[in-house]
Amino acid sequence: MTPSSPLSAFDLTDKVAVVTGGSRGLGRAMVEAFAAHGADVVIASRKVEACQVFAAEVSAATGRQAIGIAYHAGRWEDADRLASRVYDHFGRCDVLVNNAGVSPTHAGLTAVSQDLFDKVLEVNLRGPFRLSALVGERMAADEGGSIIHVSSIAAVQPTKHELVYGAAKAGVNALSAGLARAYAPKVRSNVIMPGPFLTDMSKAWDMREFEGMAREAIALQRGGEAREIVGAALYLASAASSFTTGAVIKIDGGFAYASG
């Protein structure tokens, strides 16, 4: 790859990337891609053992530094602790991906308890706010960086089964737009808004029912594979997106009509 190659803009050599919910699913695919493109990575999730095992695999495969840190997105103090650990270890953060999320099922809207409602907002919205504020402020004071939020098409096209989750993710879209202004011009903040992906979470789906729905409602007539999130993640993490901020990139196979 020559310096003039368009692909050089996607290089992440010696950058530090933090991915919450990074041990599986879309987060795992992003971690692998960032490390393969030269970044040192922090894998953060509630199951620290899984993070540490995956970190060892990433380091062995890429030669990059990779560490696993316990992190519960619904706990305010965990955001403070994660940010401190990252800066104590690396002295910087160039890319933050708020990917951790939760979407518990419920029997109906009146069956949603206050505890469930609060949990969904805490993990999906409150946690990303606090972590973005802590890291974004330091990015803005240093050399800048990129904050990427993983939202959902439920933010713009919620069903009755995911209404609270969709409301939280709509908040994430708004949060990202505000951060794009708050920490400009050195920090960029953008959203990846995925549709249905065939990750670990999809194992609980009725696949016959899903495939039938996909043929009728999704333009590409299928669910996404985790690797298909990587292009957008690399774009937003790298200098390739140097003039992109406050954007929402919909990756859903043509499922949702609204863009954000």
138 phi, psi to nearest 5 deg: -75, -35
For 84, the 3-state DSSP assignment is helix
Query: Which sign, positive or negative, has the C-alpha torsion 24, 103, 234, 220?
Result: positive
DSSP letters spanning 112-179: --HHHHHHHHIIIIIHHHHHHHHHHHHHHHTT-EEEEEE--GGGTS--GGGHHHHHHHHHHHHHHHHH
Q: Is 87 a catalytic residue?
A: no
Gap between the Cα atoms of 256 and 248, Å rounded: 13
Residues in Cβ contact with 148 at an 8 Å cutoff, skipping those fewer than 6 apart: 95, 96, 97, 98, 189, 190, 191, 192, 233, 236, 237
Residue 187: CB partners within 8 Å, gap ≥ 6?
136, 139, 140, 144, 145, 146, 147, 179, 180
- Can you give the length of the chain in residues? 260
Report the alpha-carbon distance of residue 189 to residue 20 in Å, rounded.
16
The label of the residue with tokens 């199951």 reads 47
Handedness of CA 230, 61, 128, 222 (dihedral sign): positive
What angle do helix axes 114-121 and 163-182 make, rounded to 10 degrees? Answer: 30
Which residue is catalytic, options 71, 165, 183, 235? 165
Catalytic residues: 165
